[in-house]
Each structure stands twice: as C-alpha cells, then as structure tokens.
Amino acid sequence: MTSWIGRHIVSVFLSMFLIFQAGLYTAEAQQTSAPVTLKVVLFPFLSNAPFFIAEEEGYFAEQGLRIEYVKIKEAVAIQALARGQVDVWGGLISTGALNAMHRGANIRFVADKGHFTPEGCPTFGLVARKALVEAGQLNKPAQLKGRNVAWFRASFEEYFLEKVLKKDGLTLEDVKKITIPPPADPGAMAKGSLDLTVTNEPWVTRLVQAGFGVLWLPVQQVIPDFQFGLMLYGPNLLEKTPEAGQRFMVAYLKGARQYNQGKTARNLEILAKHTGLKKDLISKVCWAQVRNDGRINVQSINEFQDWAMTKGYLDRPVTTERFMETSYIEYANKVLNKTQ
C-alpha cells in the first residue's frame, strides 16, 4: 500500500514537472521564433516619418515583425503590391492605384499617411520665382497665364493647380507645363526658366532659403483637409495574414503618435538618420499632418475621383467599400488606447 502511494506521488510530480517544462519550452519557442518579414515600399522622405520612428523605437519588433524596405517607383509598386510581391506601400493618392482597384487588384487604402489641415503649416505649396513676386507680376491667379509651371500630371498636384487657375477663369492650357524633378527647381528658377512649381517639403523651404522662391500659395488654402498620403495593403495582408497587418498597424500608429509629439530631439535624430537631411533643415521644414488614429478622409478621395473622371484619368469611380479597409486601424486603436 505504502509502495503504491509512493509511486503515485512520484507519478504526479513527474507529470507536473513535464507540464512545467512544456510550458517553459513553449514560452521560449515564442520568444525565439523568427519574426514575420514584411516588404514595405518606402523611400527616405520626411512624409514617411512614422515608419522610421516605429522602426528605430522597436515598435515593429515588439509586434514580431521585421521590415524589409523596397525602393520601386509608383507604377511598379502598385503592380508588385497587387501581385503579392510586396506587402505594404505608403504613397500619394494616385489615379493609378484607383484604376488598379477598379480593374480587380486586391489592394486597399488602410490608413492616413498625410493630409492638409486649414490651420496646419504648408507641407505642399505653389512656390513662385522670387523675382516675379518682387516685381509685382504675380499678385493674382490671372497673372499665371503664359508662365512656366512645374507639376505632375494626373496627380493631386494637377488637381490643386487647376482649382487655382479656375479662380480667374484660366485652365491648364493657359500655362506652360515644365516637367523636371524637384531637385532641379532651384537651378531652373535661378536661370529664369521656371516661374512656379507645385512642390513639397523640404523643397519648399530649400527654395525659400536659397532666395530663389517665395511660397505663393499653400495647398491647404485651396483644398483643405485633402487626403494626399495613404498607406495601402495588398492581398498578403488583406487575405493571407491579416493578423500581421493588424500588428503592422499597431506599430505604425504608435510611430505616428510619437511623430505627432513634434520636433523633439529624438524625432529629429531619427529623421536625420533615415532621410539624410540635416537636423537644422528638418527642424525648419513643415511636417506633414498625420492623424493619431489613422483615419482617412473619404470625402476628399471621392472629390478627387470626380475630378479625375472629368479629366479622363479614371476608368470609373471606385466605391468606398472597394478602396478602403478600416478594420486594421480599428484594431490598432483598441490595442493602443488600452496601453497608452
């Protein structure tokens, strides 16, 4: 009898030990398991600050994610996203993305990556050649007629510029389109071959500081609350691994909330590292407005679509259900609002 009781006690303790060891093994396996790698199309631009902050502060690592940055142009990025060759793309609102959605690509806008607020600083603007402004030759939109202006076709830049011209009854045909990259703007203005450019930071500040340009009209004075920057997911995160998409969003919005703390020493350090810009310049330029909750202004997207349809840039307007997926920001906000 005593022997049986002894064997029973030993058996119980052995079982408990094995269960305990199994628990330790499982916990260790979770800690040492390889993180999920996500491919993100991203360039070293200031507008991508929340990504850089999330990377440097370990917010992606906290979510068990490793980010592989991919640098490919927009047209290629849309195709790569739709094919599942990359997982995330953060870029400007484009007719290319909307047309791809209409044609069946399983890609969606999932979060705010930049918008204009009426009270915000000018992230984008119409910068004019300083000599023209000082000579009194650019006091109103009507005086844009015949001027050399740089902007990108079928973009929100054209959308903005056309609205400016319409104020005084002009059209895009009344100005001369110049196609040059932003880094070439200062030289072109210095030579007098460029009169105005629709550009963004840090080029707005660079043109002004160099003495070549004057911020003639901030974009938000014409299209306030416009949703110019968006983050998109492709089928990998929308269908195959939505939980990875949720975790990515938690990290991204955590980065956005730190970004919205402003030009702190830590934020300046991170942006200088990832953009290659000097801290002094970063501290002077306007930072894009990004909502803490990642919410997207749907109305502005639909208004942009209406304009694009009149220009023949869109096959057909895309419904809200087709271009947007809000579940990821909803999940992330629940998580962050509990922990912060």
Domains located in the chain, CATH noted: 35-116+225-339 (3.40.190.10), 124-221 (3.40.190.10)
Show the tokens assigned to 167. Answer: 């104020």
In the DSSP assignment, the letter for residue 217 is: E
Q: How confident is the model at residue 74 (pLDDT cuts 50, 70, 90)?
A: confident
Task: Pick the closest to residue 149 from 189, 208, 191 (CA basis).
Answer: 189
8 A C-beta contact, residue 150 and residue 179: yes
| Mean pLDDT on 64-74 | 93
Q: Which residue has the tokens 């691994």?
A: 241
> Which amino acid would we find at residue 166?
K
Candidate from 21-25, 215-219, 312-316, 320-324 with smallest mean pLDDT: 21-25
Residue 6 has pLDDT above 70, yes or no: no
Whole-Å CA distances, 52 to 80, 148, 180, 319: 22, 36, 28, 32
299-321 average pLDDT score: 97
Give residue 124's identity as a one-letter amino acid code.
F
* pLDDT tens, residue by residue, 81-137: 999 999 999 999 999 999 999 999 999 999 999 999 998 899 999 999 999 999 999
Q: With beta carbons less than 8 A apart as the criterion, state whether 133 and 318 touch.
A: no
Model confidence pLDDT, tens digit, residues 272-288: 999 999 999 999 999 99
Average pLDDT for the chain: 91
Radius of gyration of the chain (CA): 25
Nearest to 241 by CA among 37, 46, 50, 30: 37
CB-CB contact of 250 with 244 (8 Å): no
Find the DSSP H helices in 33-90: 49-56, 59-62, 74-82
Report how far apart the first and last C-alpha atoms of the chain are (Å, whole number): 59
Q: With pLDDT > 70 as the criterion, what percentage of the chain qualifies?
A: 90
Amino acid at 211: G
pLDDT of residue 73: 87
Gap between the Cα atoms of 173 and 175, Å rounded? 5
Could you give phi then psi for residue 167, rounded to 5 degrees? -60, -35
Burial annotation 108-126 (CB, 10 A radius, 16+ → b, else e): bbbbbbbbbeeebbbbbbb
Q: What is the pLDDT of residue 120?
A: 87
